[in-house]
A and B are shown apart, each in its own frame.
Chain A
Amino acid sequence: GAGVSQSPRYKVAKRGQDVALRCDPISGHVSLFWYQQALGQGPEFLTYFQNEAQLDKSGLPSDRFFAERPEGSVSTLKIQRTQQEDSAVYLCASSGGGAGTSRRLFFGPGTRLTVL
């Protein structure tokens, strides 16, 4: 595709509900990143994939957060039993090549999650 797409763009969840956020990276991009941006903050690293391998998940805030990229393209970020503090914009980014952060990232528009 022309760029990174994310769906849904907006999600309102009741506390305790499970949500799944989808990211379609640019075709052929090896590296895929998820970031969380809370209001007034910069994006914070959640996890990094190289193809289907999740090489770093140290930024996931709790075991309620789970990410996968089973075929090395589309990725899903799942949040179980959502809490109000999970309210944020979730950004997905991809880049070509295997050395993730030495290349520019292409970001999607983000999913704004609001937990009531």
Chain B
Amino acid sequence: ILNVEQSPQSLHVQEGDSTNFTCSFPSSNFYALHWYRWETAKSPEALFVMTLNGDEKKKGRISATLNTKEGYSYLYIKGSQPEDSATYLCAWAYNTDKLIFGTGTRLQVFP
């Protein structure tokens, strides 16, 4: 079954808290793993594209890790800010054509 699962579905944190989300995907036929941030009324914006087992990527306060053998990726946000409030989507590619998206984690950061 080609299914990508994200947890938790939603998260409410206080400004300054650090948080992390999980993306689980099939461990066979891995091609790439994408993370996107989708703010309300805007277009989804790419955070990371990872292709190698053990990849770690960082962009400011946000980082991601990848384990293709066990089929999971973690996204970490250090010191959450209200502007981090968004839906975070992960997507798994098993070939060049298709990304299979999870349903997302909705993050709300309260000041």
Contact = CB atoms under 8 A, between A and B. Distances in A.
Nearest first, the 9 A-B pairs at minimum CB distance are A42-B101, A101-B93, A104-B46, A56-B97, A107-B44, A107-B43, A42-B103, A48-B97, A45-B98
21 contacts: A3-B43, A42-B91, A42-B104, A43-B89, A45-B99, A45-B100, A56-B97, A56-B98, A93-B44, A99-B96, A100-B97, A101-B32, A101-B95, A101-B96, A102-B31, A102-B49, A104-B46, A104-B49, A105-B44, A105-B99, A110-B43
Interface residues of B, number: 26
B71 interface: no
A42 B43 CA distance: 14
A91 B49 contact: no
Interface of A: 3-4, 33, 35, 40-45, 48, 55-56, 58-59, 91, 93, 98-110
A82 B22 CA distance: 36
Contacts of A99: 96
A108 B45 CA distance: 10
Given A4-B43, A43-B91, A101-B95, 15 more contacts: A42-B101, A43-B99, A45-B97, A45-B99, A58-B98, A98-B96, A101-B31, A101-B96, A101-B99, A102-B31, A102-B51, A106-B46, A107-B44, A107-B45, A109-B43
